[in-house]
Amino acid sequence: MRSKRYKDMLKSSAAEYLYYFLGLSIIVASLLGGSLYYYSSSLLRQEAKTNAGNSLVLLRNAQELILSEVDKSMGNIFLDSFYASYMDYYYRQDMVTLRNLQAKLDNVLSTNDYIDSVYIYYHQDDFVLSSSQGPVRIEDFADRAFAEQLVTLPLQKNDARTRSVPGGLSGDETVITIVKAIPIFYTTKLPAAYVVVNLKGFYLQQVLDAIKTNPDAAIMVADESGHIITQKTGAASVRSASAYMAFPPPQAAGTYERIIDGSDTLVSYVTSEKYGWTYIYTIPMAVVTEKIRLWLKTALLVGLLVILVSLLCSLLFSRRMAAPLKRLLSMLRNDEDGPRRGKDVMQIERGVSRILDQNRRLGLLLAEYEAYSRNKFLADLLTSGEEEDPRTADKLAYYGLELPLDGRYAACLLSMDEYARYSAEHSERARNALFLQLMETMAEGTAQEHLAFIVEVDENRIALALRFAAEMPAEEAGAAVYAVAKAVHRLLGERHPHSFTLGAGTPHTGIGRLRESCYEAGVAVDSRLLLGNGSVIRYESIERGDRHIAYPMAIERHLLAALKMGDAEAVGRHLDEFEAYIQRHAPDRPEMVRSYYLQLFSSTLKCAYEMDAEFEPGSLLRETAHAELLGAETMRGMTAYMRGVYDRILLHQESKRSRKNKELIDAVQRYVVAQLHDDLSLERLGEQFYISASHLRKIFKDETGGTVKDFILRARMERAIELLGGTELRIADIAGQVGYLSAQSFSKAFRLETGKSPAAYREELLRAGTEPTE
């Protein structure tokens, strides 16, 4: 009976509906689960790629800022030709140049917090110039092992090494070593010297640690050869990134999956075009898909719930069961959902506000980086950093500059006179505000059809790029460049209370040759050393040649001879002759002019020491701040500096000479008083003190106001009066003791001095019963 009822139920419409709903629920659950799985997996993969890319871009930007600061500090070292010739100065014992080069190297560490130490290895001489140990032989250098292996390894442009160096009391320090060559471009097998820059490892590591990542993720920084520079990994340290990707990378950025250590791993990377470093982010796919598995379980649970709901719906098709269910649901409704729903809305609003704030901060950061990238691209276009390629036009258009590649272009460079003094007296903020105003004034003084762009290419260097039609003749374009430069210089003089020098380059065809015009403008600005400040200097007006002028040794010899004689007038005259000679014969190489003035300064210090072994050149250097000689912008400034040096030496010598003269006169007077009975002629005194009679007469007159003869006579009379009153010696004996050959000559001299004879003077003393007086 039961089996019959069961068979009837299976054939009924209720069973048919049940079958339909079961099939439908299975299909819905499968589609829903599959769609959830596919959507969640795609979302999480994309989220992982986005997070990795953002983290790597932030890391690259932060470390590029650090490396750009290092390049800015080290730029003067790499480009200074004096360091390439350091050993020549060392063998010549040019102490002024050696001290200046050491101070310049030490200044790199004092102005840059990211650099731990710097040294230059001259492998041909086995010598090292170090910021920590100074100039030392290689066998006494602490980092000898690393320095000596440089000559055996190929020098790669962007190679870096992470290693440990001795750090004093704190033990070994981790540094990131970058090796450069001096000179930067060389044709020999090996460069003249190697510059080793040790960056503080914890700076880059701090930037790395500041980026929040998944605990199972790893971030690595590698050089262009694949060597790991710094890393942040949860597992053991990695020495080479070759297991993660190929070097050099085929693209600037990319993301792919690779099996590493037996597990599927998501690898993302971003490269630095400027430094060649690669920033790598890895995370196991198991970590990425962990949430996907959670979604899969959730989908299965939802599918089961759908099936159960389908079954219930099939069984509840009866109105008898549906009506009580509706009544039950109506009873369960209450008004407590309102406040709870309000709290949820407030939490959602707070979350949305936080996301908007983060997006706003990210937008400001991207805007700042956009401005930095634009200025860097334009500055590189004016220098040797940016080579022209098919993408140049696209980059210019991206930055809002519609410039034809085949037009005529020229560059002008603005430099502020007395910039060193201004920067020392004003803050960095005031300096930046002034330079922004200068760029606005330059843009205002330039016609819009000729203005290409304005950018600060270096410290105290603002470049004005001008454009002209390609068909304009070269002479007409050159005249137009000079006219624009004169107008801008005149407007700057009207708007700002400072003096400026503007160098104008020649126009060239093609935007790729803009750097040539910028170089010419720089040469013109540097020529103010010879031509003076506060003017517009055209590159065409500079006299150029390869001739070499001889150092004016004869003028130096006469100048130093006058210095030894203490003749201030002759010293000034010969210094003017020295300046006139350099001005008359100077080529277009201001460095030679500076070197000749440095040589004159070195010869002056040597001469001052020869004149007085107790003279301390260090005190002179401290008083005159000899770095001003290297920082002088004009020849007139260097001449004024040397004139001050000579004034101080002459003042010192005059003070020394006066003190010696006083000591000499005191010695002469003591000798006269002690030797009244002896020959006290000027010739005899001169022989006694190794000085000529005429010079002794002059010095004695200058120091005492009287003559030697008067002093001797007064001393003899004082002694004679003392002997007449205090002894019973005969007049003839007293005459012999005070230096007279006979009593008659003594009596005559005594009578002329006192008005009485010696005998009468003695009687008067005895009669008065008093002690003798003058």
Q: Between helices 617-624 and 635-674, what is the axis angle to 10°? A: 140
Burial level of 339, CB count in 10 A (0-12/13-18/19+)?
exposed
Tokens matching residue 532: 């003076």
Q: How confident is the model at residue 441 (pLDDT cuts 50, 70, 90)?
A: very high
| Mean pLDDT value across residues 522-546 | 73
Sign of the dihedral defined by the CA atoms of residues 137, 139, 143, 149, in that order: positive
Percent of the chain with pLDDT over 90: 3
- 357 C-beta neighbours (distance < 10 Å), count: 10
Burial level of 583, CB count in 10 A (0-12/13-18/19+)?
middle
Q: Above 60 in pLDDT, residue 318? A: no
Q: Above 70 in pLDDT, residue 624? A: no
Which of 243-247, 387-391, 508-512 has the highest mean predicted lDDT (pLDDT)? 508-512
Place of tokens 């006469």: 558
Q: Above 70 in pLDDT, residue 158? A: no
Outline where 612-707 has alpha helix (H). Answer: 617-624, 627-631, 635-674, 682-689, 693-704
Give the integer Cα–Cα distance in Å for 774 and 768: 15
Report the length, in residues, of the chain.
774
Place of tokens 């990695």: 238
Per-residue model confidence as pLDDT tens digits over 88-141: 888 888 887 888 888 888 887 778 888 888 989 888 888 998 988 889 998 888
Q: Above 60 in pLDDT, residue 336? A: no
E-assigned strand segments in 510-566: 536-538
Give the integer Cα–Cα distance in Å for 340 and 755: 132
Q: How confident is the model at residue 487 (pLDDT cuts 50, 70, 90)?
A: very high
Give the integer Cα–Cα distance in Å for 56 and 62: 10
Q: Which has the higher per-residue pLDDT, 130 or 164?
A: 130
543 close to 524: Cβ distance less than 8 angstroms = no
Question: Buried b vs exposed e over 276-290: b needs ≥16 C-beta within 10 Å?
Answer: bbbbbbbbbbebbbe
Pair type for strands 500-504 and 536-538: parallel
Q: Above 90 in pLDDT, residue 412? A: yes
- 33 C-beta neighbours (distance < 10 Å), count: 20
Q: Above 70 in pLDDT, residue 293? A: no
Q: Which has the higher per-residue pLDDT, 326 or 270?
A: 270
The angle formed by the CA atoms of residues 118, 591 and 634, to the nearest 5 degrees, is 115
Tokens matching residue 587: 């080529």
- 616 C-beta neighbours (distance < 10 Å), count: 12
Q: What is the pLDDT of residue 617?
A: 52
Which residues 6+ apart lie within 8 Å of 97 measured at CB? 82, 89, 598, 602
| Mean pLDDT value across residues 64-74 | 78
Q: Report the phi/psi class of residue 688: left, alpha or beta, with left for phi > 0 and alpha for psi in -120 to 50.
A: alpha
Give the integer Cα–Cα distance in Å for 418 and 633: 8
Residue 117, φ and ψ in degrees, nearest 5? -160, 160
Q: Above 80 in pLDDT, residue 40? A: no
Residue of 249, 212, 252, 244 lying closest to 228 (CA atoms): 244
Lowest mean pLDDT among 111-125, 604-618, 727-741: 604-618
Q: Residue 447: what residue type?
A: A
DSSP letter string over 316-370?
Answer: TTSHHHHHHHHHHHHHH--TTHHHHHHHHHHHHHHHHHHHHHHHHHHHHHHHHHH
Give the integer Cα–Cα distance in Å for 403 and 397: 8
Q: How confident is the model at residue 15 (pLDDT cuts 50, 70, 90)?
A: low
Q: Which has the higher per-residue pLDDT, 548 or 674?
A: 674
Q: How far is CA 113 from each of CA 202, 399, 639, rounded to the nearest angstrom?
A: 11, 33, 36
Residue of 195, 161, 159, 193 lying closest to 177 (CA atoms): 161
Question: Buried b vs exposed e over 381-408: b needs ≥16 C-beta within 10 Å?
Answer: bbeeebeeeeebbebbeeeebebeeebb
Q: What is the pLDDT of residue 773?
A: 47
Residue of 112, 90, 115 lying closest to 101 (CA atoms): 90
609 close to 620: Cβ distance less than 8 angstroms = no
Question: Three-class SS of residue 228?
Answer: strand
Which of 264-278, 372-386, 664-678 has the highest mean predicted lDDT (pLDDT)? 664-678
Q: What is the pLDDT of residue 490?
A: 92
Which residues 6+ apart lie within 8 Å of 635 measured at CB? 529, 530, 579, 582, 583, 586, 593
Give the integer Cα–Cα distance in Å for 66 and 60: 10
What 8-state DSSP symbol labels residue 633? S
260 close to 285: Cβ distance less than 8 angstroms = no
Give the integer Cα–Cα distance in Å for 160 and 146: 13
Q: Residue 299: what residue type?
A: A
| Mean pLDDT value across residues 748-761 | 86
Give the integer Cα–Cα distance in Å for 535 and 555: 31
258 close to 244: Cβ distance less than 8 angstroms = yes
114 close to 66: Cβ distance less than 8 angstroms = yes
Q: What is the pLDDT of residue 128?
A: 92
| Mean pLDDT value across residues 489-494 | 90
Q: Above 80 in pLDDT, residue 238? A: no
Average pLDDT for the chain: 78
464 close to 446: Cβ distance less than 8 angstroms = yes
Which residues 6+ apart lie within 8 Å of 658 measured at CB? none
Which of 9-23, 319-333, 650-664, 674-688 has the highest mean predicted lDDT (pLDDT)? 674-688
Which residues 6+ apart lie within 8 Å of 134 measured at CB? 102
Q: Above 60 in pLDDT, residue 280? A: yes
Q: How confident is the model at residue 774 (pLDDT cuts 50, 70, 90)?
A: very low
Give the integer Cα–Cα distance in Å for 634 and 638: 7
281 close to 291: Cβ distance less than 8 angstroms = no
Q: Above 50 in pLDDT, residue 320? A: no
Q: What is the pLDDT of residue 178?
A: 85
Which residues 6+ apart lie within 8 Å of 176 measured at CB? 160, 161, 162, 198, 199, 200, 201, 204, 229, 230
Which residues 6+ apart lie within 8 Å of 603 measured at CB? 556, 560
| Mean pLDDT value across residues 228-255 | 74
DSSP letter string over 273-320?
Answer: TTT--EEEEEEEHHHHTHHHHHHHHHHHHHHHHHHHHHHHHHHTTSHH
**C-alpha dihedral, 267 to 268 to 272 to 278, nearest 10°:** -20
Cis status of the peptide bond prior to 248, with omega within 30 of 0:
yes
DSSP letter string over 554-592?
Answer: HHHHHHHHHHHHT-HHHHHHHHHHHHHHHHHH--S-HHH
